[in-house]
Amino acid sequence: MKQLPLLGSQMSETLSLGQEARRLEEKYAPRMREELRLGRLVSYVGNRDVPLLRLYRYKEAFAFQLVEEFLDRFDAKPEDYVFDPFCGMGTTLLAASQRGIPAIGVDRLPLAAFIARTLPLFFEIPPGQLKTIFAQLLSLVPQTPPASVAMDVAIMRVAFPEEILDRLRRWKAAIDTLDSPQREVFQLLFFSILEPCSHTSKDGQFLRMRRARKTARPEEVLARQVLEAEKDLLHIRALGWKAPSPGSWTVILGDTRDLSSVPFLRPPTIVITSPPYANRYDYTRIYSLELCFHFVRNFDELRALRHSLLRSHIEARLGPSEAPPHPAVQEIVEILRKRRDQLNNPKIPDMLTSYFVDMRQAIREWQRVLAPGARIALVVDDVRFEGYMLPVDLILSEMADAEGFQTTEIIIARYKGNSSQQMGRFGRVPVRESVVVWRKPT
């Protein structure tokens, strides 16, 4: 193992890299550069002032402005066709649609697909209507029987004070009686208040219980969210934003590892996306309250959903014949398996293996469906386990090159710390968050 000085002017510490990781760093160094100005845009924080996107805090989203930036760099035109294979709340679709570019997104998490499908519905709501409906719901809620929710999921039994939970279930049932599109818009606002009404907080990779935290009253927070949504309805008009034209905004609840049933209008020419990160991230835990209120009926469905997502989480099951699909992954998996006892979770080698198996399958599908000459911008984090840095940006790039893409640039957007335990043990060595740019040859 060699110690390499970390790329980046302000970094003085060293980082352990396996031989394979080092080879990758050398191979891609000429195409790697820093553009730390983008650092602000690779996280959802950049959406704080963006109408509609600010109404639901999808923590894994990137900023609207990042998508705009890459649409510019790719010289996107209305004749293009944008695809986001991990579309989350629909940031890419919203930015594309505001330039009159048709877009399609796929996401496996029903909450994400729901939000992405609901954003265009806001354009159908006249200003003032949400306030009126809220007042009607307020008088309806006390006599509405509580909606059934997935109470066999443990977190649901401790997340809320009993009275608040009862109130939320009545709100949910009352909202469900509305007609579309008001129903979906209110459901989105309702999902956004579950965290403040609970003792939980979405914190890094975890949904943490904060028993001491005061919980908000559903009607108070929902009233506030309705006012914010009303502001946004005026704001999008002031900005001149247009409702997407019919058929130009499609969201599929599906798996990007198999795009065979996705109804593409034609082969997409631009991809702007960000996959789950290989850092033990489990979307079904972070969003379990939202899922249990609407998208799953019980724990078995929640668990089945967990196992249908890309395997970025620690419960990932590795098939008997699955092996690391890249030598840099194999190298770190071997190192980590030898140190299984020291790992804070012995399943990390299996997670890394399955994550890259899944990403290779996703890249193969993109290669199959994209138009010749298509451009891809993919935002991704490197990860670090036991002091070894895994250059996810470079591994994915080499895998993409092997599948027939060409890596044109690796743009370092920011340097990040890793988990607090790791920083405690190994010192504050940050990892990269990069935008990798690939092209499908013509």
Ligand X SMILES: C[S@@+](CC[C@H](N)C(=O)[O-])C[C@H]1O[C@@H](n2cnc3c(N)ncnc32)[C@H](O)[C@@H]1O
89: contact with ligand X by CB under 6 A: yes
Phi first, then psi: give them for residue 359, nearest 5 degrees: -65, -35
Asked if residues 265 and 81 have their Cβ atoms less than 8 Å apart, the reply is yes
Other beta carbons less than 10 A from residue 321's beta carbon: 5
80: contact with ligand X by CB under 6 A: no
382: contact with ligand X by CB under 6 A: no
Other beta carbons less than 10 A from residue 379's beta carbon: 24
Note every long-range contact of 239-246, with CB atoms under 8 Å and residues 24 or more positions apart, other chains counting.
239/51, 241/51, 241/98, 241/123, 242/97, 242/98, 242/100, 242/123, 243/120, 243/123, 243/124, 244/97, 244/120, 244/123, 245/100
Candidates 108-116, 220-228, 229-237, 365-373; binding stretch for ligand X (CB under 6 A) = 108-116
Q: How far is the CB of 86 from ligand X (least distance, A)?
A: 3
Task: Tell me if the bond preceding 181 is cis, omega within 30° of 0.
Answer: yes
Residue with tokens 């509405």: 144
109: contact with ligand X by CB under 6 A: yes
Query: Dihedral sign, CA of 362, 365, 371, 372?
Result: positive
Q: How far is the CB of 379 from ligand X (least distance, A)?
A: 7
Closest residue to ligand X, Cβ-based? Answer: 88
Helix then strand then coil, in percent of the chain rounded to 5, is 45, 15, 40
Residue 275 CA to residue 85 CA, distance in Å, equals 8
Q: How far is the CB of 112 from ligand X (least distance, A)?
A: 4
Asked if residues 426 and 432 have their Cβ atoms less than 8 Å apart, the reply is no
Instruction: List, as one string, the DSSP characters of 340-370.
Output: GGGSS-TTHHHHHHHHHHHHHHHHHHHHHHS
Output 276 or 324, the one with its CB closest to ligand X: 276
Buried b (16+ CB within 10 A) or exposed e, 130-147: beebbeebeeebeebeeb
94: contact with ligand X by CB under 6 A: no
249: contact with ligand X by CB under 6 A: no
Contacting ligand X within 110-149 (CB under 6 A) = 112
Candidates 86-94, 209-217, 342-350, 405-413; binding stretch for ligand X (CB under 6 A) = 86-94
Other beta carbons less than 10 A from residue 363's beta carbon: 26
Candidates 56-64, 203-211, 295-303, 399-407; binding stretch for ligand X (CB under 6 A) = 56-64
According to DSSP, the β-strands at 406-416 and 388-390 are unpaired
Q: How far is the CB of 27 from ligand X (least distance, A)?
A: 26
Output 189 or 309, the one with its CB closest to ligand X: 309
**Residue among 247, 253, 294 nearest 266 (CA):** 247
Among 20, 25, 34, 60, binds ligand X (CB under 6 A): 60
Among 24, 41, 52, 61, binds ligand X (CB under 6 A): 61
Q: How far is the CB of 60 from ligand X (least distance, A)?
A: 4
108: contact with ligand X by CB under 6 A: yes
274: contact with ligand X by CB under 6 A: yes
Among 193, 309, 316, 399, binds ligand X (CB under 6 A): 309
Output 174 or 379, the one with its CB closest to ligand X: 379
Size of the site for ligand X (CB under 6 A): 22
Other beta carbons less than 10 A from residue 99's beta carbon: 16
List the x/- string, 283-302, binding to ligand X by CB under 6 A: x-------------------
Candidates 107-115, 319-327, 367-375, 398-406; binding stretch for ligand X (CB under 6 A) = 107-115
**Residue among 100, 84, 101 nearest 92 (CA):** 84
Candidates 100-108, 137-145, 151-159, 394-402; binding stretch for ligand X (CB under 6 A) = 100-108
Among 16, 17, 46, 62, binds ligand X (CB under 6 A): 62
Among 74, 81, 83, 86, binds ligand X (CB under 6 A): 86
Helix (H) / strand (E) containing 19: helix 19-28
Q: How far is the CB of 297 from ligand X (least distance, A)?
A: 19
SS3 438: strand
Output 22 or 313, the one with its CB closest to ligand X: 313
Residue 29 CA to residue 12 CA, distance in Å, equals 18
Output 44 or 134, the one with its CB closest to ligand X: 44
Among 18, 51, 88, 430, binds ligand X (CB under 6 A): 88
Q: How far is the CB of 389 from ligand X (least distance, A)?
A: 20
Q: What does the binding site for ligand X look like in residue numbers (CB under 6 A)?
A: 58, 60-62, 86, 88-89, 91, 106-109, 112, 255-257, 274-276, 283, 309-310
